[in-house]
Amino acid sequence: MNIRNSFRLCFAITAIATLLTTCSSGNPVINETWSLVDLISQGEQISAATEIVEVRNCGTTERKTTECSAGTNNDLTVSLEGGVQFGGGVVGSINASVANELGMGRNSGESLTLDTPAEGFIGIYTVDKVYRVVTGEMLVRSSTGRETKGNYTFHASCSLTIVNVETVSCGTGATETPGVTEPPLSPEDPYNCNFINELVNKGQINQILVGGKGPAGVQILLTESVDVPLGWTVHREGVEYKGPVHFDAGTLASFWTPDPCEPLSINP
């Protein structure tokens, strides 16, 4: 695993088998198991994002589906307080009362099969993904008897809605993404590297993300809506999105640049 992927994992931890992998310095705790014991608080919110999916029939016929995951163990993210640090291989368990209260195990995800357009055309689907997210604090206990609080996020259910379908000819050489305005490509910016400047101007930076070559993105709270261009990757509440994709003001997420843009020049 390269350095960049290691940092990305710190912002998208979803497996219960590794309840937390912190990226701060310090010695990891080895051979310690953790249990999710009790929910301290519980609230709900709605999280939404728009995904753009292209289905091509340009010589090679594509068949694609889009999906959202919810209601499973993998849809729970837990971050512990108190500076607890882990290496790999942390084993965890979930108290039955916690699982029942969260509604875990119902597998409430959805999947949609997108129709392939006629030969010589590209279908451009705009899909809204809406999640019901349960958040709060929980009590976590280690096999050595240590107890600490953790902040959790659980995607309890989700829904998919196709809000627009556009068909363009393969012969146009380019597609226009509905609802998303991409900055024009140029020899000076073929990978949309300069999108970082728009991000910085439209949000409050929480953290600069580091890849294998240096600064590679930002974790930011958006104060204005943005249209993420092709090539960029966004991690939000354990879900990964690929540009082009739209996010509204109020979104807190990690935005990662395409590899060729590293290292970024970030001026907060």
pLDDT digits (tens, 9 = 90+) for 9-33: 333 333 333 333 333 333 334 456 7
At 254, is the pLDDT very low, low, confident or very high (cuts 50, 70, 90)? confident
Calculate mean pLDDT across residues 202-228: 86
Which tokens belong to 35? 């249990």
Pick the more confident residue, 2 or 100: 100
Which tokens belong to 22? 């912190």
Pick the more confident residue, 244 or 10: 244
The pLDDT of residue 162 is: 92
Q: E-strand spans in the chain?
A: 34-39, 43-57, 64-68, 76-80, 92-94, 110-114, 121-142, 147-169, 203-211, 214-222, 226-228, 233-236, 239-242, 245-247, 252-256
CA distance 94 to 116: 42
- Interstrand relation of 92-94 and 34-39 (parallel, antiparallel or unpaired): parallel
Calculate mean pLDDT across residues 58-80: 84
At 188, is the pLDDT very low, low, confident or very high (cuts 50, 70, 90)? low
Q: How open is the CA angle 264-265-267, to the nearest 5 degrees?
A: 135
Pick the more confident residue, 104 or 201: 201
At 198, is the pLDDT very low, low, confident or very high (cuts 50, 70, 90)? very high
- Nearest alpha carbon to residue 127 among 222, 226, 53: 53
Residue-wise pLDDT tens digits, 139-174: 988 888 888 888 888 888 999 999 999 999 987 533
At 41, is the pLDDT very low, low, confident or very high (cuts 50, 70, 90)? very high
Query: What average pLDDT does the structure give for the chain?
Result: 76
pTM confidence score: 0.53
Give the alpha-carbon dihedral of 162, 164, 165, 168, to 10 degrees. Answer: -150
Calculate mean pLDDT across residues 81-94: 48
Q: What is the percentage of the chain residues whose pLDDT exceeds 70?
A: 76
The pLDDT of residue 39 is: 93
In the block, which residue shows the tokens 């609080």? 149
Q: Give one DSSP letter per residue of 47-91, joined into a string.
A: EEEEEEEEEEESSSB--EEEEE--SSGGGEEEEESTT--B-S---
Residue type, position 12, single letter: A
Residues 14 and 109: beta-carbon distance below 8 Å: no
